[in-house]
Amino acid sequence: MSLVLRDISITLGTKVLVVPFSLAIGKGEIVTLMGPSGSGKSSVLSALAGTLVAPLAVHGAATLDGRDIFGLPAEQRRMGRLFQDDLLFPHMTVGENLLFGMARGQREDRLSAMRAALKEIELEGFEDRPPQTLSGGQRQRISLMRSLLARPAAMLLDEPFSKLDQTLRAQIRRNTFGLLMARGTPTLLVTHDIADAPEAGRVLLITPHGEVKDV
């Protein structure tokens, strides 16, 4: 599994917000993209996910396991996403949220996969709970697991730890990176806090002028 970006740039009309850059993220690798607010970090993620809103536009090429993704609608790109907010669907229980993105199949198989996933994130027995009754950390873990159960070919993390308190933050970060690496999912993490980046991973910085540099 690999995510390869070639000469990716983001423009707003004639203005270039992110100048062309290339990047390859291998199996289980987590690359961090940092930069100040408004530098275009989240726009890069939206462009890869297929949800960039006009008049912003993306240029260049992106392949996921050799497959060009820019020609595909968002739902067919197999790009998992985690946001600052957990975005658990409020009218569904925890279990229903997890089943929502899981591939179709035998109901019993899907249910047991859902329960196993809950066990993996230490929330066994939570399937019938409404998301509103959970803590921030629990919700974020479920959100991550919901993405992983959809078997994404790559993950895009958009400051997913920024709303968690300091003590919870380190633990959730460790769990998230552990799960992603164990599954071999190439991951692009966007953050403005260096502490959120994995210790051994590659870190890129978008400058205020839109240039992407290795740090």
Partner 1 sequence: MNRSRSFSSSLPLALLFVLPLLGSLALMLASAANLGAWVAVFQHPQLWGGLGLSLFTGITATAIAALVALLIAASFFERGKDTTLARGLSAMLAVPHLAFAIGLGFLIMPSGLLTRVIAMLFTGWTSPPPWVTTHDPYGLALIVALAVKESGFLLFVLTNILAREDMRQSFAAQKAAAQALGHGTLSIWLRLFLPQLWAQLVWPLVIVFVYATTVVDVALVLGPTQPPTFADVVWSDINSAHVADAARGAVGAVFLALITGLVIMVAAAVGWVLRPALKLWLTRGPSPLALPLWLGLAKWRGLQLFFGAVLITLVLLSVAQLWPFPQLLPEHFDASAWRQVAEHSAPLVLSLMLAISTSLSALLLLVLWFETLPQTWDRAMMIMSLVMLGLPALLIGLGQYQMFLRFGLTGTGLGLFLAHLMPVVAYMFIMLEGPYRALDPRWRDVSRGLGAGRIGFLTRIKWPMLKAPLLASVAVGFAVSFGQFVPAQLVSAGRFSTLTMEAVTLTSGTNRPLAAAFALLLMLPPLLVFLGAGLFGRARWRAA
The contact mask relative to partner 1 for 175-204 (x = CB under 8 A, - = no) is ------------------------------
Q: How far is the CB of 69 from partner 1 (least distance, A)?
A: 12
Please say which residue, 46 or 187, places its beta carbon nearer to partner 1: 46
Burial of 172 (0-12, 13-18, 19+ CB in 10 A): buried
Q: Is residue 73 at the binding interface for partner 1, with CB under 8 A as the rule?
A: yes
Furthest CA-CA distance within the chain: 53
Which listed residue (76, 112, 171, 207) binds partner 1 by CB under 8 A?
Answer: 76
Q: Is residue 141 at the binding interface for partner 1, with CB under 8 A as the rule?
A: no
Q: Is residue 87 at the binding interface for partner 1, with CB under 8 A as the rule?
A: yes
Coil, helix or strand at residue 215:
coil
> Please, are residues 7 and 201 in contact by the beta-carbon 8 Å criterion?
no
Which listed residue (55, 104, 128, 166) binds partner 1 by CB under 8 A?
Answer: 104
> Please, are residues 85 and 163 in contact by the beta-carbon 8 Å criterion?
yes
In whole angstroms, give the CA distance from residue 75 to residue 71: 12
The enclosing H or E element of 154 equals strand 154-158
Residues at the site binding partner 1, with contacts judged by CB under 8 A = 46, 49-51, 73-76, 78-81, 83, 85, 87, 89-92, 95-96, 99-105, 107, 110, 146-147, 150, 152, 156
